[in-house]
């Protein structure tokens, strides 16, 4: 497989992470309903959601914030022919940081650790965009 096509594996990894959080959120919401801690109607307004499912819901929302820039960077690198080995490694680093961030979010929810992991994934995403800028500038 060429490095340019390999850029799609981390994209698929990020998509899989998003789906996994959807499943977790759904399970936590159903558990809250079954345990009598919530009613189905409680999920109309997120502020009344039990903490375990609320953290999963917030982790899910996070997958549609910074990762949007990740997808755009990966696709831009692919389209411009800049999705080489370094770009693929950097993309995997982003997915790893986001996976650990999501894990912390839905388990201990330690805010300072989450913040550091967010900053790490943000920095990796900045590197992706710098790679794209350098590729375009030197093409």
| Helix%, strand%, coil% for the chain, nearest 5 | 85, 0, 15
- The predicted pLDDT at position 115 comes to 97
> What is the pLDDT confidence band of residue 44, given thresholds at 50, 70 and 90?
confident
DSSP annotation of 83 reads -
Helix (H, G, I), strand (E, B) or coil at 38: coil
Backbone angles phi, psi at 117, to 5 degrees: -70, -35
pLDDT of residue 64: 95
The architecture of the domain spanning 3-138 is Up-down Bundle (1.20)
In a 10 Å sphere around its CB, with 0-12 CB exposed, 13-18 middle and 19+ buried, how is residue 64 labelled?
exposed
pLDDT tens-digit series, residues 52-101: 999 999 999 999 999 999 999 999 999 999 999 999 999 999 999 999 99
Q: pTM score > 0.85 for this model?
A: yes
- Per-domain boundaries in the chain: 3-138
Check pLDDT > 80 for residue 47. Answer: no
Query: Of 98, 79, 88, 97, which Cα lies nearest the Cα of 128?
Result: 88
pLDDT at position 3: 73
């Amino acid at each position: 497989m060429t490095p340019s096509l390999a850029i799609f594996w981390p994209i698929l990894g990020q998509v899989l992470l998003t789906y996994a959080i959807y499943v977790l959120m759904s399970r936590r919401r159903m558990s809250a309903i079954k345990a009598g801690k919530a009613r189905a109607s409680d999920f109309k307004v997120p502020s009344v959601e039990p903490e375990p499912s609320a953290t999963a819901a917030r982790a899910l929302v996070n997958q549609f914030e910074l990762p949007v820039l990740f997808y755009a960077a990966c696709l831009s690198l692919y389209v411009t022919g800049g999705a080489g080995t370094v770009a693929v490694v950097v993309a995997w680093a982003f997915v790893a940081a986001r996976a650990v961030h999501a894990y912390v979010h839905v388990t201990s929810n330690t805010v300072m650790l989450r913040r550091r992991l967010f900053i790490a994934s943000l920095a990796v995403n900045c590197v992706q965009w710098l790679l794209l800028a350098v590729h375009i500038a030197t093409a």
